[in-house]
Amino acid sequence: MGRSFVADSGPESHITAVPEGAPRGGLRALCSPAALTGGLTELAWVGAHVLMYPLGTRTEELRPDPRVRPGEQPAAVRALFAADPLAARIPVLLVHGLVDNRSIFAVMRRGLRRRGFTDVCSWNYSPLSSDIARCAADLGAHIERVCEQTGHERVHVVGHSLGGLISRYLVQRLGGDRRIDSLITLGTPHQGSLLAHVVPTPLIRQLRPGSPVLRELEQPARDVTTRVTAIYSDLDQMVLPTSSGRCDHPDLAARNLLVRGVGHMSLPIHRGVVDEVAVTLAGRRGADMTAARAA
């Protein structure tokens, strides 16, 4: 089972990780300053996202940022990729959640580019999709096109909510680990969500705990090479219980990261989460964990 970490909700959360405690629960947790701030941020972002939604209805083309030139990055960017300068060139693909589109990643896309990642794009799938496996196959085809276009053999994928589950299905069941170097999921219901019992549509039924798709993902995955990080929140109102945001498959050895006081829709815009995604994709987290084991 993968190691777990807790990040504080502050912007420096990517710097220091400590062993995880259980997610806080009950009325006391909901009334904490962090939870109240997170709830207000969630409401504000949902309102802004509704206005931005029409701008994200088309799949984004992969265009390297012309402002990023080797050797001209700020010192902080050079330090991020000091261990592996080529990591900045690996394409990063962002996959949105249920009934959403690439507009959810407006902040993260800009944040990753500012931190030195040159090839960042998003993939839209139809809000009328009814099957996770079919979406995963379509995602695999899109990744093949990205690899052909960029000349890279592998990509990074960041999936929010259902997007993380679609990406994980591709990795485990359709051979996607051949192309996906790292997978980071944000608020993904790896073990399902009790809310999925409320809406009986075909796709949402697949998100119910114990559904055939989730049981399929519990099957052995011993040959999977993709590095998996699952970021989940104790304030996630869509993934219930919130611990379902963990990826505890024994063969994946996923790194589970708990953030506090961040709502479901706010995960892709939270500065600490964006910092953590950048550090992980730059290979720093894997190197830190290897060094810790050696020590």
Closest CA to 250 of 222, 225, 213, 223: 222
pLDDT tens sequence for the chain (295 residues): 444 445 443 333 333 343 344 555 554 555 667 667 777 777 776 777 677 767 766 766 666 555 555 456 677 787 888 778 888 899 999 999 998 999 999 999 999 999 999 999 999 998 889 999 999 999 999 999 999 999 999 999 999 999 999 999 999 999 999 999 999 999 999 999 999 999 889 999 999 999 999 999 999 999 999 999 999 999 999 999 999 999 999 999 899 999 999 999 999 999 999 999 999 999 877 545 444 333 3
Closest CA to 264 of 127, 101, 104, 54: 104
132-150 helix and 162-173 helix, angle to the nearest 10 degrees: 80
Q: Cis bond leading into 23, ω under 30°?
A: no
**SS3 (DSSP) at 95:** strand
Prediction pTM value: 0.83
Confidence at residue 163, expressed as pLDDT on a 0 to 100 scale = 98
Q: Could you tell me the two tokens for 146? A: 């990205």
The values of phi and psi at residue 16, to 5°, are -125, 120
CB 201 within 8 A of CB 130: yes
Confidence at residue 144, expressed as pLDDT on a 0 to 100 scale = 97
Confidence at residue 30, expressed as pLDDT on a 0 to 100 scale = 57
> How does strand 4-7 pair with strand 18-19?
antiparallel
Give Cβ neighbours of residue 6 (< 8 Å, ≥ 6 apart): 17, 18, 19, 20, 21, 257, 258, 259, 260
Confidence at residue 47, expressed as pLDDT on a 0 to 100 scale = 72
CB 7 within 8 A of CB 13: yes
Q: Could you tell me the two tokens for 104? A: 């959810």
Confidence at residue 24, expressed as pLDDT on a 0 to 100 scale = 52
d(CA 281, CA 272): 14
d(CA 279, CA 8): 16
d(CA 7, CA 187): 14
Q: Could you tell me the two tokens for 78? A: 């050079």
Helices (H) and strands (E) in the chain, counts: 10, 8
Q: Which residues pair with 230 in a beta bridge?
A: 185, 256
Fold category of 4-9+26-294 in CATH: Rossmann fold (3.40.50)
Confidence at residue 3, expressed as pLDDT on a 0 to 100 scale = 41
**Per-residue pLDDT tens digits for 127-149:** 889 999 999 999 999 999 999 99
First vs last C-alpha separation in the chain: 20
Question: Structural domain boundaries of the chain?
Answer: 4-9+26-294
